[in-house]
Amino acid sequence: MTSKLPNATTPAAPIPDRRPTERTFHGDTVVDPYEWMRDKTDPEVIAHLEAENAYADARTAHLDALRGKLVEEFIGHTQETDLSVPVRRGDWWYTTRTTAGDDYPKFTRVPDTGTMPQIEPGVMLEGEQVLLDAQAEAAGHEFYSLGGLAPSPDHTLFASAVDTAGDERFTLRITEIATGKVLDESVTGTGYGIAFSADQEWLFYARVDDAWRQHQIWRHRIGSDPAEDVLVLEESDERFMIGFDRSRDGSTLILQSGSTTTTESWLLDLTDPTSAPVPAGGRRDGVDYGVEHAGDRLLVVHNDGHLGFALAQAPLDAPGEWEELLVAAEGERLLSVEAFAQVVALELRSGGLATVRLIPRAADGSLRVDEAQDITHGGELDTVELDANPNWDQTTLRYQLTSMLTPATVAERDIVSGETSILRVTPVPNYDPSLYVERREWATAADGAAIPLSVVARRDVPADGTAPGYLYGYGSYEVSIDPSFVPTRLSLLDRGVVIAIAHVRGGGEMGREWYEHGKLLQKKNSFSDFVAAAEHLGASGLIDPARLGAEGRSAGGLLMGAITNLAPERFRAVIAGVPFVDALTTILDPSLPLTVGEWEEWGDPLHDPEVYAYMKEYTPYENVRETEYPAIFASTSLNDTRVFFVEPAKWVARLRETVTSDQTERPIVFRCEMVAGHGGRSGRYRKWEQRADELAWLLDQLGATELV
């Protein structure tokens, strides 16, 4: 094993042993010298990762002061002692409190006296109860994350799901609120989701298989031995993952199994928790739908015959008989629906932005579709999404508004009058929005498609081709990276960096067709779209083409690997977070998390030679070129169950041995968090430190370390 850092004054990159292994599919043999690093229990693998961390420390030691300054700025733009807008559930108002110096919040509640309580940051009210003190719970753990919180129907019990390793396997805890007594914490290794039965004797939870596929729903009698738990529903098809949610009126557990293109739903009567789930729509290949229990009927958002999806209703006793109510207009994509006694709220995309459409209900419960209204605030980059609305009979509807310059804003719309009230604008100290400007730009893709970009910059930064730039992208799974306010971006903006998000194909920003044209055998569109966005920023004078940084994470890390191979000359520095860069190796192995369930996204190279050849042309690890590359900062976590640490470890080793760029000037740095998951470190201060590490490196590479 030769992975070691010689000394602090003359750092050398760790060099892992080359131990060739062969992979043969469809008559094609690939020799991989670094696949041996997959085993995280191997002491040599751990030694190599630790050597990489030591090398990263040495190569970035000169940035210590800048990292500290960035953390100070992040904190300076945060009201550290703060709280969320209280949410009424039953006879209580629930809220979340943060305290200066604490990484994790407290979850509390106060009794409902008829109006929303006037709660102050840092001031506990008389009668306020602490349901869970996450800061205290996290003591002694390097990592702490919650996978679910739920009060019982009568609000006497409180259930939580905790992960202290980063592997997204949770331990359930049920607490008696009045006494703080833990009634049950015997169920371990669960997935996401918690739901009480109506009589709160039972708790429903999910389990995951070895490939991190959530494949089972179980029922646990509180206080009993988990060995007696009952399997409620199992999904045997490896393409599908299963989950559940409780209806707003508390009567029904809605279970849904879904692949990338197909879903199936069931309903379970929570007043009869030992009953079997009832099918609610069946499974038809290619039909993607979601079910909402609307009291006297079901509401369904589906794509059966409609690319942009449609809203339908169905009788409770005949859930498969869909009656169409509303079809997405051109340029729209219906996403989901939430039902209340007096109104139905439809989340959708329109013109590339997220919005909410309100549909009143008549006295008989029918939907007055012709009276529907969209919630708008007039901003060019406004993102509008539903907020917490847990009560069936509520007369107001909460939503969140944000943009690149608008801090997260909780607003409330009166269902009858239509009047809007702003409940809270997230405080951002030391922030003057008038100093900045945001706008929509359009790049032209290689095939002529218009690619939207969301752009924000300081108003005083001239568009004369001299500014440093930062371009973010994702482009997979129909996930939309919508314009939103991110306080840590202010540290880039205030150093003159122009920030842009490239809404490339493969994402969902422009609707279902946008997604379809960036997946499977059209996946390369995502990569060329991102390059086109970079070229547009330079050609328009918004940035200096020689000072452009890029970032993507997870599947966006695949995007980063692909664009550095496709057009390395377009980028000065690239951050690749938990990057999916060894895509072909992973998708060829059905035992790994991103495989069978991912074939509908990437294709099935195991059985289809055309898919194999196409993926081999773009998978980043196998296409590193012998030419000059941008500087690269790759990061991962040892316990990540979605993208294994071995992918960036192998990619970095190949980059270092192949690229011709001066790695003193353009270093290839790799960090592995040894106790963390897909999202990196836990706790807000530790997350800020991790982000400062990445951004200090990027700013240094872009020559933008000083405030303007």
Distance CA 618, CA 613 (A): 9
Position 5 scores a pLDDT of 43
How far from 106 is each of 97, 425, 493, CA to CA, in Å?
5, 20, 32
640 as an active site residue: the answer is yes
DSSP 170: B
Q: Give the mean pLDDT of 105-123.
A: 94
Query: Per-residue pLDDT tens for 171-223?
Result: 999 999 999 999 999 999 999 999 999 999 999 999 999 888 999 999 999 99
**Tens-digit pLDDT profile for residues 523-557:** 999 999 999 999 999 999 999 999 999 999 999 99
Q: Would residue 678 show up in a list of annotated catalytic residues for this protein? A: yes
For 53-68, what is the mean pLDDT?
97
pLDDT at 707 over 90: yes
Q: Find the catalytic residue in 184, 678, 682, 693.
A: 678
Taking every pair of Cα atoms in the chain, the longest distance, rounded to a whole number of angstroms, is 77
Token pair, residue 194, equals 């918690």
| pLDDT for residue 119 | 87
Calpha distance 186→587 (Å, rounded): 35
User: Of the residues 145, 350, 554, 682, which is catalytic?
Assistant: 554
pLDDT at res. 8:
47
The encoded tokens of residue 431 equal: 């922030």
The residue behind tokens 């108002």 is 93
DSSP 419-475: -EEEEEE---TT--GGGEEEEEEEEE-TTSPEEEEEEEEETTS-SSS-S-EEEE---
* Cross-strand pairs, 179: none
Kindly name the residue from 102, 604, 640, 693 that is annotated as catalytic: 640
pLDDT tens-digit readout, 222-259: 999 999 999 999 999 999 999 999 999 999 999 999 99
Q: Which domains does the chain have, with CATH numbers?
A: 22-75+430-702 (3.40.50.1820), 297-427 (2.130.10.120)
Residue 190 contacts residue 229 (beta carbons within 8 Å): no
Kindly state the tokens that stand for 488: 């840590």
Q: What angle do CA 267, 273, 275 make, to 5 degrees?
A: 65
* Tens digits of residue pLDDT in 152-180: 999 999 999 999 999 999 999 999 999 99
Q: Name 551's Cβ contacts closer than 8 Å, sequence gap at least 6.
A: 470, 471, 472, 473, 560, 574, 575, 576, 577, 698
- Whether 293 sits among the annotated catalytic residues: the reply is no
Of 34-43, 585-594, 678-687, 692-701, least confident by mean pLDDT is 585-594
pLDDT tier at 7 (50, 70, 90 boundaries)? very low
Residue 484 has pLDDT above 60, yes or no: yes
pLDDT at residue number 440:
97
pLDDT band at 9 (very low <50, low <70, confident <90, very high): low
Is residue 6's pLDDT more than 70?
Answer: no
Inter-residue contact 273 to 221 (CB < 8 Å): no
From CA 706, how far away is CA 708, in angstroms rounded?
Answer: 6
> Residue 227: what pLDDT?
98
**H helix intervals, 573-678:** 583-587, 599-602, 609-618, 646-658
Has residue 677 got a pLDDT over 90? no
Average pLDDT of the segment spanning 121-146:
95
